[in-house]
Amino acid sequence: ETQIASLLKSSDLFPIPQSLKLSYGTAGFRGDATLLASTVYRVGILSSLRSLKLAPSTIGLMITASQNKVSDNGVKVSDPSGGMLSQEWEPFADQIANASSPQKLVALIREFVEREEISIGDGKGEVWLARDTRPSGEALLRAAEIGVSSVSGCVAVDYSSAALDDGANGVGGEKMEVLKGYLRNLDIEIRNTGRDGGVLNEIVGADFVQKEKVVPLGFGVNDVGLRCTAYANGASTDYLKGLGLEVIFAKTGVKRLHKKAAEFDVGIYFEANGHGTILFSEDYVSLLVDKRKGLSEGSDEYNAVSRLVAVSKLINQAVGDAISGLLLVEVVLRHMGWSVQKWNELYKDLPSRQVKVEVPDRTAVVTTSEETEALKPLGIQDAINGEIRKYKRGRAFIRPSGTEDVVRVYAEASTQEDADSLADSVAQLVK
Ligand code: 16G
């Protein structure tokens, strides 16, 4: 009863805005920051319950809207593995985020706690909180803290600003400044740190570069050896297949790609907007370590095995991060003796174009599990195919965004003009 009273009391502090309808999307809840306090508070409660359910364990709660504009914010939960919240809990997240009153919220929590057999009261739960540099983050972090500690026996530990977001006038730049001191053999120049008045994600950042296909603010064409890539470009897929690698597709979003990659001994996943990492299975790493024991130190094979083991430690196997990815690229280039230019010339991306279309209801678009074809609205895929057929090397798809209220259109073709025109005509079909 004290638990219920405490939940009712704290939830009164965070009334839910009228007509708010949220769903735990690709990477948690996202939306206009001014509407999110009740959501973040409720996700705080969920995180505490998750920690009690898996006790003893620590859960992560991250306040960020990643690449979205600075006025948005969001919240997502990490499981003890460091990976994303188990998808089995997402329906509960949706339910409590949308509960229209404190009474309904408490009823939902009660029912869930019973069903999941979570013992409140005698357990100890711990939730680590962090946020990106968005100005709205501070108040939302307080809301999360109140949510976490309104579940009896649970504490919040504040690790504010511990997370990265694209290094686009965000925390990435700040962390890189610190790391720079440890990397004496690397010449690192950090731009767009946000300290010079730059706005998070505005005309900067991996997602911006990928979608707009221009260099970020503060860089000239001469600075950038790499061309912009786009949504697993058809040419990159061909290149990887040519290396004899098995290439599979998954729905957009780290949580889905991670799951697929974990099925392999060595699984590499990436999204053209910068997300990705390499996963090594435990069995494979122990096999390597065992194998090394039988090899003579300093031999080629010994060194090769050691390099693989080192890579498995350097790369962030939880969800991947920009800094470990960047360091790994540097390691590989040095090992191969390649320049950035040489790396970039391994294959040539097909020209591509991405556009977003605002629609009254993006959920009207339903795709296949790999998001390469639209199943609904009926007939739209045939119409898209009709457009694709008009272009050499044409490829296009539509999908509802998991982070913004839009439908995304991706198109590629053998020339930029064709890719632009294909994207335009598919966008017309969506409107
Ligand atoms: C989120 C995802 C990212 C995905 C992007 C797609 C995580 C950590 N982040 O930022 O993987 O590429 O959404 O956004 O999962 P969209 O659905 O709006 O195209």
pLDDT tens column, 35-44: 999 999 999 9
Looking at the structure, tell me whether residues 89 and 144 fall in a common domain: yes
pLDDT of residue 177: 87
pTM (2 d.p.): 0.88
Which domain-ending residue is among 102, 124, 158? 158
Q: How far is the CA of 24 from the centre of ligand 1 (A)?
A: 12
Query: In ligand 1, which atom is closest to the CA atom of 25?
Result: 17
What CATH number does the domain containing 36 carry? 3.40.120.10
Structural domain boundaries, residue 365: 352-430
Pocket test for ligand 1, best of 69, 252, 277, 363 (most atoms within 8 A of CB): 252
Query: In ligand 1, which atom is closest to the CA atom of 275?
Result: 11
pLDDT of residue 228: 32
Q: How far is the CA of 304 from the centre of ligand 1 (A)?
A: 35
In the structure encoding, which two tokens stand for residue 414, read together? 């053998």
pLDDT of residue 185: 83
Pocket test for ligand 1, best of 24, 26, 371 (most atoms within 8 A of CB): 26
Q: How far is the CA of 80 from the centre of ligand 1 (A)?
A: 21
Q: Are 43 and 144 in contact (CB under 8 A)?
A: yes
Q: Is residue 229 part of a domain?
A: no
Q: How far is the CA of 20 from the centre of ligand 1 (A)?
A: 21
Looking at the structure, tell me whether residues 14 and 118 fall in a common domain: yes
Looking at the structure, tell me whether residues 138 and 213 fall in a common domain: no
Ligand 1 atom 12: the closest Cα is on which residue?
A: 253
In the structure encoding, which two tokens stand for residue 194, read together? 């946000």
- Per residue in 355-385, pLDDT (tens digit) is 999 999 999 999 998 899 999 999 999 999 9
- What is the ipTM metric for this complex? 0.96
pLDDT of residue 322: 87
Q: Is residue 66 part of a domain?
A: yes
Ligand 1 atom 11: the closest Cα is on which residue?
A: 253
Ligand 1 atom 5: the closest Cα is on which residue?
A: 253
Looking at the structure, tell me whether residues 216 and 257 fall in a common domain: no
CA distance 103 to 99: 9
Which domain-ending residue is among 201, 223, 245? 223
Give the β-pairing of 266-270 and 154-158.
unpaired
What CATH number does the domain containing 391 carry? 3.30.310.50
pLDDT of residue 161: 61
Q: Which of 66, 150, 236, 324 is catalytic?
A: 66
Looking at the structure, tell me whether residues 61 and 29 fall in a common domain: yes
Give bridge partners of residue 410 from the DSSP assignment: 354, 397
Looking at the structure, tell me whether residues 31 and 121 fall in a common domain: yes
- Per residue in 149-187, pLDDT (tens digit) is 999 999 999 998 655 575 688 888 888 888 899 988 888
pLDDT of residue 230: 35
Looking at the structure, tell me whether residues 215 and 313 fall in a common domain: no
Which domain-ending residue is among 118, 133, 158? 158
Residues of the chain whose pLDDT is less than 50?
A: 225-230
What one-letter code names the amino acid at 115? R
Q: How far is the CA of 404 from the centre of ligand 1 (A)?
A: 10
Longest CA pairwise span in the chain (Å): 69
Q: Is residue 165 part of a domain?
A: no
Ligand 1 atom 16: the closest Cα is on which residue?
A: 401
Q: How far is the CA of 207 from the centre of ligand 1 (A)?
A: 10
What one-letter code names the amino acid at 337? G
pLDDT of residue 247: 87
Looking at the structure, tell me whether residues 82 and 175 fall in a common domain: no
Whether 66 is a known active-site residue: answer: yes
Query: In ligand 1, which atom is closest to the CA atom of 400?
Result: 17
Q: How far is the CA of 427 from the centre of ligand 1 (A)?
A: 20
Q: Are 402 and 27 in contact (CB under 8 A)?
A: yes
CB atoms within 10 A of CB 266: 15
Looking at the structure, tell me whether residues 186 and 289 fall in a common domain: no
Write the CB contacts of 372 (distance below 8 Å, at least 6 apart in sequence).
Answer: 249, 397
Looking at the structure, tell me whether residues 101 and 191 fall in a common domain: no
Query: In ligand 1, which atom is closest to the CA atom of 402?
Result: 17
pLDDT of residue 264: 94
Q: Is residue 417 part of a domain?
A: yes
In the structure encoding, which two tokens stand for residue 228, read together? 């912009």
Q: Is residue 405 part of a domain?
A: yes
Q: Is residue 321 part of a domain?
A: yes
Query: In ligand 1, which atom is closest to the CA atom of 273?
Result: 12
Query: In ligand 1, which atom is closest to the CA atom of 254?
Result: 15
Ligand 1 atom 4: the closest Cα is on which residue?
A: 253
Q: Count of domains in the chain? A: 4
pLDDT of residue 166: 57
- Per residue in 237-247, pLDDT (tens digit) is 899 889 999 88
Q: Is residue 43 part of a domain?
A: yes
Looking at the structure, tell me whether residues 136 and 175 fall in a common domain: no
Looking at the structure, tell me whether residues 143 and 35 fall in a common domain: yes
Q: Tell me which residues have their CB closer than 6 angstroms to ligand 1.
A: 26-27, 66-67, 252-255, 271, 273, 275, 401-404, 408
